[in-house]
Amino acid sequence: MAIRDADFKRMAELLKLGASMLSESCPECKVPLFKLKNDVFCPLCNRKFILVKSDEELSRAATDLSLRSLEKIAVSKLEELGDLVSATTNPDKQFELVSLISMWLDVLGKLRNLTSKKE
């Protein structure tokens, strides 16, 4: 089954709602399962899944790990950019740097939102 644009939109929508994408996939649709609150389901066929506790914890740990390494990258980029901003007096350069800072802050906010959603 091919994934259509509408399906991608639905997945993006779910992520915005705070759902997390799991490493397990739907045996039918072959797409990653999503977890919203305590529900694990396939974004395409809407079938619900119950993950055995250890598997869930495994996937949670794996997801956390990759999110945390991304978080570290975002923080180090922000530090670098902060140094660059204070070192430059050129307004164009400052504008460019501040736009990048804003972008990374956005990324960081999303990552923190995802990792804090774990109950």
Q: Which is nearer to Zn ion, 11 or 44 (CB)?
A: 44
Please answer whether residues 44 and 52 qualify as being in contact, where contact means their C-beta atoms are separated by less than 8 angstroms: no
What is residue 5's three-state secondary structure? helix
Looking at the chain, list the stretches that DSSP marks H as alpha helix, in order from N- to C-terminal side: 5-16, 53-87, 91-116
H or E, element range at 34: strand 32-36
Smallest distance from Zn ion to CB 45, Å:
3
Smallest distance from Zn ion to CB 24, Å:
11
Which spans of this chain sit near Zn ion (rule: CB under 5 A)?
Answer: 26, 28-29, 42, 44-45
Q: Which is nearer to Zn ion, 4 or 68 (CB)?
A: 4
Smallest distance from Zn ion to CB 81, Å:
41
Q: Which is nearer to Zn ion, 26 or 111 (CB)?
A: 26
H or E, element range at 23: strand 20-25
